[in-house]
């Protein structure tokens, strides 16, 4: 075999080897995901609302507040909802036959999550403070669930005060000063609406 033929043969072998390596790289692709990536839990979904999606009917209105009764539907339970008449307040209140909630910058259907917990601190003008167990929402709002036996005890400071400052996580994000004028009437009317217009 001549020297020129050996050179041609060597070049052909190198070309075949390079093509084989290139094919292997292309078929291998990106590295396999790590165990942490493979078993990473899905993001927590916002709890679906069990409440009625029917329009509310105004059952009481006074002192700058409106209370609406939302009737039950086939897929949702009845509830009552109290909010400022001009929608100027981040604070609203909701009551069903089984419980109540204080909502801060939250939709009236918002539900407290089972896993996420936070703390909402209410600071009243007389210096009284109240730490509330709350559930943060993905959109930045907060839900404070209230058991019916504790309804009056928890809301009593809100009913007798004209304003409150709300802070998340005991001094974290300050939601700000909230006007509570007329809240005593609103919370009493909300409870009456709950008794008269929600499912037993």
Judged by average pLDDT, the poorest of 25-29, 95-99, 157-161 is: 25-29
Banded pLDDT at 68 (limits 50, 70, 90): very high
The model carries a pTM of: 0.73
Tell me the torsion sign for CA atoms 95, 90, 57, 64: positive
CA dihedral 85, 88, 91, 95 (to 10 degrees): 20
Name the CATH architecture for the domain at 57-197. Sandwich (2.60)
The more confidently predicted of residues 117 and 33 is 117
The helix/strand/coil state of 49 is: coil
Torsion of CA 27, 30, 31, 36, to 10 degrees: -140
Domain ranges of the chain: 57-197
Per-residue pLDDT reduced to its tens digit, 165-196: 998 874 455 677 899 999 999 999 999 999 99
H or E segment and range at residue 54: none
Confidence of residue 93 (pLDDT cuts 50, 70, 90): very high
What gap in Å lies between CA 26 and CA 135, rounded to an integer?
49
**Assigned token pair, 37:** 């990536």
Q: What is the pLDDT of residue 87?
A: 81
Beta bridge partners of 134: 118
State mean pLDDT over 125-138: 88
Contact residues for 69 (Cβ-Cβ < 8 A; gap 6+) = 56, 57, 59, 78, 80, 193, 196, 197, 198
Residue 143 has pLDDT above 50, yes or no: yes
* pLDDT value at 18 more than 70: no
Distance CA 95, CA 122 (A): 20
The CA distance from 45 to 123, in Å, is: 31
Confidence of residue 82 (pLDDT cuts 50, 70, 90): very high
Q: pLDDT tens digits, residue range 104-118?
A: 999 999 988 776 677
Percent of the chain whose pLDDT exceeds 70: 72
Name which of 135, 177, 134, 187 is nearest 157 in CA terms. Answer: 187
């Amino acid at each position: 075999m001549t020297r020129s033929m050996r050179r041609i043969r060597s070049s052909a072998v190198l070309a075949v080897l390079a093509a084989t390596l290139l094919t292997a790289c292309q078929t291998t692709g990106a590295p396999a995901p790590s165990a942490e990536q493979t078993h990473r839990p899905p993001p927590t979904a916002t709890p679906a609302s069990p409440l009625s999606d029917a329009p509310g009917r105004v059952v009481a209105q006074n002192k700058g507040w409106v209370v609406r009764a939302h009737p039950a539907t086939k897929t949702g339970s009845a509830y009552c909802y109290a909010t400022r008449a001009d929608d100027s307040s981040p604070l609203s209140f909701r009551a069903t036959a089984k419980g109540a909630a204080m909502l801060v910058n939250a939709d009236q259907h918002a539900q407290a999550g089972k896993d996420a917990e936070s703390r909402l601190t209410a600071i009243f003008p007389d210096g009284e403070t109240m730490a509330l167990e709350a559930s943060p929402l993905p959109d930045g709002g907060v839900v404070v669930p209230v058991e019916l036996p504790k309804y009056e005890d928890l809301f009593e400071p809100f009913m007798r005060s004209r304003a409150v400052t709300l802070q998340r996580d005991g001094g974290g994000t300050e939601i700000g000063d909230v006007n509570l004028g007329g809240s005593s009437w609103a919370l009493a009317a909300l409870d009456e609406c709950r008794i008269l217009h929600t499912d037993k």
